[in-house]
Amino acid sequence: MDSFARHGSVWRAAEDLHLTRSAVSHQLRLLERDLGFDLLERVGKGVTLTPRGRRYALDVRKALTVLGDAAEQHGNKGIGGSFGISCTPGFASLWLCNQIAGFQDMYPDVSLRILTPRRLDDVSSVNADIYVAFGLGNWPNHSVELLCDVEFTPLCSPSLLNRLGGLSRPQDILRANLLHLGDHEDWSRWFAATGVENPNPDAGIIFSDMNLVFSSAIAGQGIAMGDELTSRKALDDGRLVRPFEMAIKSPRSYFLVTEWTKVDHPIARAFGGWLRSRLSEANSGKVYAELRTRE
């Protein structure tokens, strides 16, 4: 159940659990029978969680997080040494740096080094023991684990939103500067998905770092494309707002990438477990917020 809720599809849950799709579907049907209510509903050609199923999945995730934290807190004896983590600049500064003290508290004998590569999909640093990379998942000769998918949506500062007199429809975004990370791909896809007429996605400013994109957006210099994970704190603090619900799924995702020779390193296992727990907790918070808005 937890794997299906995290991945959103039977086939990805099957890959995660190393089972067949039919086995996962069978287990979900058995769980529905035991619980006495529907967990899944068909949407188009796929299936998704029912509102009650989402609430149940959230409770399951909370319970698993508590169990995981207890195991980590009581099973970390003897883990120590130097350990390098290569992480994309945006993920590192906007998410990991707000969380990493929790890992250090649990593993005080580990000496951490946080590195940022020039390319979001780079896993070549000789100083890194593990990588949080953003890409298509194709890193030969490495252990590759999906951490989370990403959906992008427009984000801007409240001050800019006020200056523009609000944004009532996607077409209104053309009245503001567009802020890009690396290229124009995300804005092009969002305009296509929302049916904006005569857009000019090549307009605006291109930045080489997500920190620069967010800094410019927070300063009211334009509208950025951001995701719920890295922008969560800025949204909660009111420095950024989300004018539209429409989001586009990125073809790239965050992955935990490790050389096969380092997969069983005690610190690599500890960090991977801690990272999965924190990301699941963050996703549970997002699901809970969505449920509250629908009630």
Length of the chain: 295
Q: For residue 252, what pLDDT is reported?
A: 92
Largest CA distance in the chain: 61
Closest to 130 (Cα-Cα) out of 85, 65, 182? 85
The CA–CA distances, whole Å, from 178 to 71, 93, 220 equal 46, 22, 11
C-alpha–C-alpha distance, residues 152 and 231, integer Å: 10
CB 223, CB 176: distance < 8 Å = yes
Nearest by Cα to 107 from 233, 281, 269, 291: 269
* Per-residue pLDDT at 73: 54
Positions of the chain with pLDDT under 70: 1-7, 11, 16-19, 45, 62-78, 283-295
pLDDT value for 240: 96
Pick left, alpha or beta for residue 81 (phi over 0 → left; psi -120 to 50 → alpha; otherwise beta): left
CB crowding 234-268: b at 16 or more within 10 Å, else e: beeeebbbebbeebbebebbbbbbbbeebeebebb
**End-to-end alpha-carbon separation of the chain, Å?**
23
Question: pLDDT tens digits, residue range 96-149?
Answer: 999 999 999 999 999 999 999 989 999 999 999 999 999 999 999 999 999 999
**The predicted structure's pLDDT at residue 72:** 54
What's residue 239's pLDDT? 96
Predicted local distance difference test score (pLDDT) of residue 7 = 65
Is the entire prediction scored with pTM above 0.85? no
255: Cα within 13 Å, side-chain hemisphere:
22
